[in-house]
Structure 1
Amino acid sequence: MPVVEQSVVISRPASEVWDFITTPENWPTWESSIVECDQVTDNPIGVGTRWHGVTRILGKRFDWMTEFTEYQPAKVGTSKSVEGKFGFTATTKLEEVDGGTLFTYRVDSESGLGGVFGKLADPIVTKAYSRTMRASLDNLADLLNTDN
């Protein structure tokens, strides 16, 4: 199972970072592989909340639906795919540190992305997505650090 994990320090309190990242419409503004993202359940966000989105990886578009399996405001959120071409789990963690908030984003995905690229392509896809994630986290930090 390929895993990509990256972290960045954002010079904002964890509560502000959390509010931004738990607004699904904000994801395409900073996460470059996400084309669209919206909440499909009506209740306030929490365990059981579902988000729908579209991701583009190496030129291929993937529709997905996730459901939050863990939700601790301003600390950790974990969502697992419940619909789509491949399975994945995404975890966001926040930790107060000197200078702001350490934001860690981790994605665990099926090998071969469910057969879309094949298992032999795992190292290539993982490396490409790792670069994308690094750039996205830097983009998030720039966006939130300059929005004062």
Structure 2
Amino acid sequence: MPTVERTFTVNAPIEKVGPYLADFAHAEAWDPGTKTCTPLDGQPVQVGSRWHNVSEFMGRETELEYRLERWEPDHLTLVGENKTVTSTDDISLRAVDPRTTEITYHVDFDFHGVASVAGPLLKPALEKLGTDTEEQMKKVLPTI
């Protein structure tokens, strides 16, 4: 199971970063692979909220259903699934000071069926996606 992890700081307070990332519809702004991310529930964001995510990875479009599994002021977990992969995005937050947040973004990719054979081969592309996501978060989060 390939994993990707990045730890970095952003110039935004933890009180804004957590709720912003918990609303996965915002992935359109901070995740370079996401093309669209639409809420499925029509309710305020809470544990159990779901989104339909359309992403592009290595030139191919894929659709996943994400749900917010955990949401605490300093920790959230989003799980995306389709028949090929389960992606678990585990995000830890730490206030460095009142205006700066350290983010540890850890993603596990559990490929299913035939795709499980390709999982280890995708590691370089997943690492690039991790780097691109970090850079995009550093640009977007200070503007929230």
| In 2, Cα distance between equivalents of 1:70 and 1:26 | 17
Answer yes or no: is 1:142 the counterpart of 2:131.
Answer: no
Listed as ranges, the gaps of 5+ residues in structure 1 are none
1:131 aligns with 2:116: no
Q: Give a deviation string over 1:51-96, Cα, whole Å, max 9, x none.
A: 1101211112111112222111x31111223544322211122111
Give the partner amino acid of 2:10.
I
Q: Deviations over 1:102-131 (max 9, x none)?
A: 112221111xx3346452x33331221111
> For residue 21 of structure 2, what is the aligned residue in structure 1?
21
- Kept in 1: contact 2:84–2:115 (CA 8 A): no
Sort the Cα spacing of 1:132 and 1:81 in 2 relative to 1 into closer, same or farther, 3 A. closer
TM-score by length of 1: 0.82
Instruction: Write the distance in 1 (CA, Å) between the matches of 2:43 and 2:3.
Output: 30
Asked if structure 2 preserves the Cα contact closer than 8 Å seen for 1:41 and 1:50, the reply is: yes
Contact 2:22-2:71 within 8 A present in 1 as well: no
Query: How many percent of aligned residue pairs carry the same amino acid?
Result: 22
Q: Is the contact between residue 25 and residue 51 of structure 2 (CA under 8 Å) also seen in structure 1? A: no
Please say which of residues 33-42 and 78-87 is displaced more in the overlay: 78-87
Other structure's SS at 2:134 match: helix
CA gap of 1:115–1:58, structure 2 versus 1, over 3 A, is: farther
Question: RMSD value over aligned CA atoms?
Answer: 2.2
Q: Is the 8 Å Cα contact of residues 63 and 84 (structure 1) preserved in structure 2? A: no
Establish whether residue 114 from structure 1 lines up as the match of residue 116 from structure 2: no
Alpha-carbon separation, structure 1, partners of 2:49 and 2:67 = 5
When structure 1 is superposed on structure 2, of 17-26 and 33-42 the one drifting more is: 17-26
Q: SS at the partner of 2:85?
A: coil
Equivalent pairs counted in the alignment come to 143
Superposition deviation, residue 138 in structure 1: 1.4
Q: 2-side partners of 1:27 and 1:92: how far apart?
A: 13
What SS class does the counterpart of residue 19 from structure 1 fall into?
helix
* Distance in structure 1 (CA, Å) of the matches to 2:87 and 2:107: 7
Other-structure match for 2:7: 7
| Distance of 1:144 and 1:67 partners within structure 2 | 21
Residue 92 of structure 2 corresponds to which residue in structure 1?
A: 93
